[in-house]
Each structure stands twice: as C-alpha cells, then as structure tokens.
Structure 1
C-alpha cells in the first residue's frame, strides 16, 4: 500500500462518487476504480457498497477513512516540523488542556520546561475528547483533562494523576454561604453547568454526583468554560461546582465553599501517544512527576 492509494481512497470517500473523485484527482475513472479495488483486496475489507446513484461507505470504510485522514494530518505536521529542525529553528511542544487545569500545575510545567529544553511551548484549549483526536493527528503532544475516555485505541493512553476536591461557587454574601455545604443543600439551588457540548464531559461528572445520592438538580444554564460559569454565578444565576485549584482566580464577587460530603472529587488525567519519548517529552514527564507528587503531598494546592 502506498500513500497514493490512501489519497485516492480519501477522494472517493469524500465525493461518494467515482466520476467526481476522478475529476478531482485529474485522472480517468477506470484506473481509479482499479486502484480502489486493489486497495480492498490488499487489506481484505469491503470499503464501499456500490449503489445505483453512487457509492456508500461500509462501517469498515468509515473507520478506514477517519484513520486515513489522521495519517495525512500527522504527515503534514511531521513534514513541517522536519523543516523547522532542518532550518535550526526551535522544536514545538504542544499541550492540550481543559480550562480548569490551567489554575494548578500547568503554568509551572510550562515555565520550567521552556528553559530546560529550549522548545517553544504551545497551549491549546481542548475538551478531553478533542485532545484524544488531536493526539492521534499529531496536533498536540500531551493533554490534560478530567474525563476518562472509554474504548481508547492502543495508540493513545490515559494516566490518572490525582483526584482533586471540588468546591461550590456561590455569589458572595449568598444566604447559604457558610464554612461547608452539602450536596443536598446545593440541590435546592439552580445549577450552572460547564462545559456544554457532547458527552462525556465535566458537566456529566457533576450531575452524577447528585444522582448517585438520589438528588435531583435544576440546571439553570450550560456554558462552555469555567470563567463564564463563574460570571453567571456572580450574577446570581445559581451555583456551580469547580475543582479546588480554581479558587486561585480570587474573584471578589464569588465565594468558594468546601463541601461536607466526603470524596467529592474530580480526576485529573494525562493523555499521550503510546510511542518512544524524545528528550522534550522525557523532560516534561520528569517535571510533571515532581509537580504531581507535590500536589498529592499537599505542598501546594
């Protein structure tokens, strides 16, 4: 199998029509049809179902198309990075993260990694599921999230770093503001959830905390990020649950209150590709191990 076979396949999969795909590739249809047939024979899988008005992808064909597109994304990044190295420019280390991670150890990781390796560090705000796809395509090198992704393929792994306590965010001077609050008390208030979007996400984790205790919650609004959620809390739209490290924001219009319920926590996961580590990755993992141990031992929140 050669790259041209994958390019032919992607064109046909996108157009769902051999004639249009051949025109797009600037080639005749019969050779294209033969190339696709050879590809199917080589991998031993039927990728297309021939229909009267064109062709449709089989389930195996849909999967093959997604993976083929990732291969080309990865190839583009490899070529670009190779050109950077050849021209003696700095290498880029790309980190994906969910917003609530940014208030903890991530800034320290970036500050220490840059001078240690000489690499340029890029930060990309991505939900956990988006991080997995970005890792597969080579758009990021590691990711930090709060949701465990089931049915991961063997090319990407997730590692639990630690469990972080959750706290309740209420408008400052709220009538329920006190030293601790229970989930049962909070269930009587409207709740602001984040992030909005497809599951699994942090919002599902929060709702499950209440449902596991037989509590029902009224959702006032769903938003995409923690800052917007806290702004709605300050506007007295309701309360929200946030990881403990978000308290570092120090907003004067929001109170962060510990929970009396035991083991109300959010996990923090590291996601990365399963591949040999280069020098930058080794340095990043060394720094991260130290930061996580400090966090677990309570040396800083």
Structure 2
C-alpha cells in the first residue's frame, strides 16, 4: 500500500464519483478504478459500495477513510517540516505572542544574534494556536507562547510560570486599598477588558477558564483586538484587564498593577519546537533564555533540547 493509493481513495470518497475523482487527480478514470480495486484486494474488504449513485463508502470504507486522511495529513506535515529543516542552517524563524515580546524576549533575541551573527532571524507575531500550525507546516522553527495545544509532532518546553496582575486605572477603588492585592472573586462584577479577540482560542479563553476552574464567572467583559488597546481603555477608565507581570512597565503613569493574592494566578511561558529537532541553534536559544532567567532571578526548571 502506497501513499498514492490513499490519495486516490480519499479523492473517490470525497467526490463520490470515479469520474470526478479522476478529474481532481488529473488521471483517467480506468486506471483509477483499477488502483482502488487493487487497494480493496490488498486490505481484503470492500471499501466502496458501487451499487449506489452517488458512490457510498461501506462501514469499513468509512473507517479506512478517517485513518487515510490522518495519514496523508501527517505525511504532508512531515514533508513541510523536512523542507524547513533543510534551510535551518542559514536562518531561524521565531513565532511569539505579543505579551512575551514586551518582556525579556528582545534581550534574548539580541544575545542570540550575537552568538550567530551570520544567521538570519525572522520574527513573526503568532498566537499559541497559530504557532502550532506554523511549526507543523514548516513556517517557523520555534514558538514562544502561553497556551498548550496537543500535537504529536510538537514538543512543548515549559520555560516558567509567570505571575498575572490586574491593570486598573489610578483612580479605581482597588488602587486605593492599602492591601493592594486582589482575588478573582473581587473581579467577578468588574468590567473586564479581555484580549485578543482572535484568532481563537486565545488568552481570553485562558482568563475565562481561570474563573470557571474556581466556579466563578466574569459577569461583565468586553473583548478587544490586542493588548495595547486593552491597556489604553484601562488608562481611560473603561475597565480592568489581566496581564502578565512583566508588562507592569507599560502605561505606568496612568495604570496601577495589582498582584493576585499570594501570586496564585500564573500564565505559562512555553517554548514549542518540532519533536526530535535537536538543532544547535535551538539548544543555544534555550540556553540564552535560561541565562536571562538567572539574571532576572526567575524561578524555572531547566530542560534540554
């Protein structure tokens, strides 16, 4: 059984016609019919009920189709990732979420450039879900994100857990309290400004899950396009937002950042790479990241690529 047999079968299953499938595959109909017949003989069962018009898959055919689609998708991913690997010696493409860019990522990239002055470094703003897709499609080589998405071809390295804080206007009641700590319960009836609106799932979903996990509900919230819009609206007195602690320097003249009780609420910082990709470039990037964590005094559990 070869991949072409799977592609032929999937085309027939989706077009429900040998003629239309042949047109889609740019081959003639008789050879296509023979290939499908050979496939059925090899697996030992009838996959297509030819007595129906349009054609219909048998129960075994439905099962075979679902797995054939998955195999072809993995094959295409493998091709894309391998092609990207072939060009890895001359450039590295890094995906990042904006909140990490406002932290120490620029310093990490600058140090990494110093280690590899002849390597072209490309930066792309992508949310965590987009990074997963871009890695499997060979569009980036590493991603720095905040959300976990399971994919057998991607390895996730938890760099550290970063404390979350609440950004409030300077004249807000919470900013005037002496304790200067908050809980999620304190925010259930506050007007929250959450970001980014898309693509989903995003940090919005992560924040809402923090409430749901504690059997709480954010009763009033507005979704905005990006982090800077959220902080701008906070500065204008339109509500509150939740951000990672490393963003406390943004709009500090207009916004107060209040920690959660005992720093209980955190957001993970996750480095994503393709499984079994053990490039020296990636190893150096991880080492440089840990060097800056040491300088900043961050808690983390080191891993290796």
Quote the offset at 1:72 in angstroms: 3.4
- 1:229-248 equivalences in 2 (<5 Å): 229-248=230-249
- 1:178-257 equivalences in 2 (<5 Å): 178=176, 179-197=180-198, 201-250=202-251, 252-257=253-258
What residue ranges of structure 2 are gaps of 5+ in the alignment?
300-305
Looking at structure 2, the residues matched to 243 and 46 of structure 1 have their Cα atoms a distance apart, in angstroms, of 56
Quote the offset at 1:242 in angstroms: 0.5
CA offsets 1:90-109 (integer angstroms, 9 cap, x no match) = 72211122221111232122
Structure 1 pair 173/230, CA: closer, same or farther in 2 (3 Å)?
same
Taking structure 2 as the reference length, the TM-score comes to 0.77
Structure 1 pair 265/6, CA: closer, same or farther in 2 (3 Å)?
same
Quote the offset at 1:40 in angstroms: 6.7
Looking at structure 2, the residues matched to 54 and 136 of structure 1 have their Cα atoms a distance apart, in angstroms, of 33
Secondary structure at 2:182's aligned position in 1? coil
Looking at structure 2, the residues matched to 142 and 45 of structure 1 have their Cα atoms a distance apart, in angstroms, of 43
Aligned to 1:34: 34
CA offsets 1:176-199 (integer angstroms, 9 cap, x no match) = 323333333222311122233576
Aligned to 2:159: 161
Aligned to 1:97: 96
Q: Do residues 176 (structure 1) and 180 (structure 2) align?
A: no
Q: Which structure has the larger Rg? A: 2
Conserved? CA contact 1:100–1:226, under 8 Å = yes
Conserved? CA contact 1:18–1:33, under 8 Å = yes
Quote the offset at 1:164 in angstroms: 0.6
Looking at structure 2, the residues matched to 40 and 81 of structure 1 have their Cα atoms a distance apart, in angstroms, of 36
Quote the offset at 1:113 in angstroms: 2.0
Conserved? CA contact 1:71–1:137, under 8 Å = no
Quote the offset at 1:44 in angstroms: 8.6
Secondary structure at 1:289's aligned position in 2? helix
Structure 1 pair 10/107, CA: closer, same or farther in 2 (3 Å)?
farther
Looking at structure 2, the residues matched to 220 and 185 of structure 1 have their Cα atoms a distance apart, in angstroms, of 14
CA offsets 1:145-188 (integer angstroms, 9 cap, x no match) = 222234x42x2221211111111112343233233333332223
Looking at structure 1, the residues matched to 174 and 90 of structure 2 have their Cα atoms a distance apart, in angstroms, of 51
Looking at structure 1, the residues matched to 43 and 103 of structure 2 have their Cα atoms a distance apart, in angstroms, of 47
RMSD value, Cα: 3.5
Aligned to 2:286: 285
Looking at structure 2, the residues matched to 2 and 64 of structure 1 have their Cα atoms a distance apart, in angstroms, of 11
Aligned to 1:144: 144
Looking at structure 1, the residues matched to 294 and 43 of structure 2 have their Cα atoms a distance apart, in angstroms, of 46
Looking at structure 2, the residues matched to 48 and 142 of structure 1 have their Cα atoms a distance apart, in angstroms, of 42
Taking structure 1 as the reference length, the TM-score comes to 0.78
Looking at structure 2, the residues matched to 253 and 177 of structure 1 have their Cα atoms a distance apart, in angstroms, of 11
Looking at structure 2, the residues matched to 96 and 192 of structure 1 have their Cα atoms a distance apart, in angstroms, of 25
Secondary structure at 1:220's aligned position in 2? strand
Question: Between Structure 1 and Structure 2, how many residues are aligned?
Answer: 291
